[in-house]
Amino acid sequence: MNTIFSDRQLSHIIDQSLFFECECSAQVARQIISLRDLYAFQQDCGEQNSTDRAVHQRITTDTQQAHTLMEACLNSILMLENWNLETLTLPASSQETPQSN
C-alpha cells in the first residue's frame, strides 16, 4: 500500500495533537492506522474458496482507496492548520500550554 505518512509520523501527529488539544488531526491519523491494520489483516487472512478470495479482494481494494483519501485529508488538514510538514509540529500560535484540570 502506498503511504504519505509513516506509522511513526502518524504517532507523532497524534501525540502533538493531543498535547496541544487539537483533536481533528489525531482522529484522522487514528483512522489511517486502523485502515492499515484492516489492510494487513486482509493480507494475512486465510482464503478457503473463491467467495472468500472475492470478499478479501473487495475489502483490500476499498481499504486502499479509503487509505489514500484519508492520507490526503490529513495532509490537507496539516496544511490548513499551518503545521510544519518537515517536523510535523503545530505552528507557534497553536502551541499554547494545555489547560490543566
pLDDT in tens, 34-45: 999 999 999 888
Q: What is the pTM of this model?
A: 0.86
- What pLDDT does 51 receive? 86
Dist CA 77 CA 83 (whole Å): 9
- What pLDDT does 101 receive? 45
Per-residue pLDDT reduced to its tens digit, 9-65: 999 999 998 887 779 999 999 999 999 999 999 988 876 788 888 999 999 999 999
Task: Please give the C-alpha separations between residue 70 and each of 26, 65, 99, in angstroms, as whole numbers.
Answer: 12, 9, 29
Q: 87 pLDDT exceeds 90?
A: yes
